[in-house]
Amino acid sequence: MIFSRVRVKENGRHSRVLFDLVRNNLYSSHQLLWKLFEDDAEASRDFLFRQEFEDEQVTSAGSPRGLPIFYLVSRRMPLGESELFEVESKTYDPCLLPGMRLQFKLRANPVISISRERDQTGIKPRGGKHDILMHAKREASRNGITDRAEIDRHIENAAQDWLVARGDQYGFKVEGADKKSLLVTTSYRQHVLYKRSAQNIRFSSVDFTGILSISDPHVFQKAIFEGLGRSKSFGCGLMMIRRT
């Protein structure tokens, strides 16, 4: 696998593209990053990405650049440079051992499967995949919870429970999960990606940071190479790790 850091070049020739990126148009980001793999037009998408904004570099005026920066994990080597991007790549084959502790951050799209059976109120919910955080908010309302702080705790617990449950599937255990003291959940967002020739895409994302221990290195490796959860084409699913 290949790990890449992709930065936007600073020039005036791509102002519209930069505008789309800066306003966090993840559909545009995905399309542009896909061009880094134009050497095989017939290949399917085989990369994960995470979009952030630069703060470690400053302009000549001393302020942060504030331009998008992308982290990619891919099966193929991306182009080394393009009209828009500067690309730094290296082989990505982390040594993973049972019990190893890692710091991680993950942007994910947590969803829950809802059956069409009637609940205790007699309401028959719409079946399918649902935003787990909005579902938690509705459940809090049905249970008579009106305090804003309590609703927020209900939503945060739902997000953290989702990730803890993924550990059994993906070969890791979140440390402090019983008290959630080491697991931080931030930046819940609802996204609408506007497409000219198709129905708009709607999904949510939330950021997790914390510490995990590896229970099954083989399964965990597959998770960090292939991603966790849904909406991987739009910047979700890439777990970034480093040793504690």
Q: How confident is the model at residue 58 (pLDDT cuts 50, 70, 90)?
A: very low
CA atoms within 13 A on the CB side of 159: 26
pLDDT at 199: 72
Residue ranges per structural domain of the chain: 2-91, 101-243
Give the residue with greater pLDDT, 206 vs 152: 206
Intrachain domains 2-91 and 101-243 with the same fold: yes
| pTM score of the predicted model | 0.79
Among candidate residues 170, 144, 154, the one with its CA nearest the CA of residue 227: 170
Task: Inform me whether the pLDDT recorded for 122 exceeds 80.
Answer: no
- Residues 214-242, mean pLDDT to the nearest whole number: 93
Return the beta strands (E) in the chain as ranges.
2-8, 47-53, 68-74, 85-91, 101-108, 111-114, 128-131, 172-174, 184-193, 201-214, 239-243
CATH class of residue range 2-91: alpha beta
pLDDT at 63: 47
- In which residue are the tokens 């050497």 written? 39
CATH number at 101-243 = 3.30.70.1210
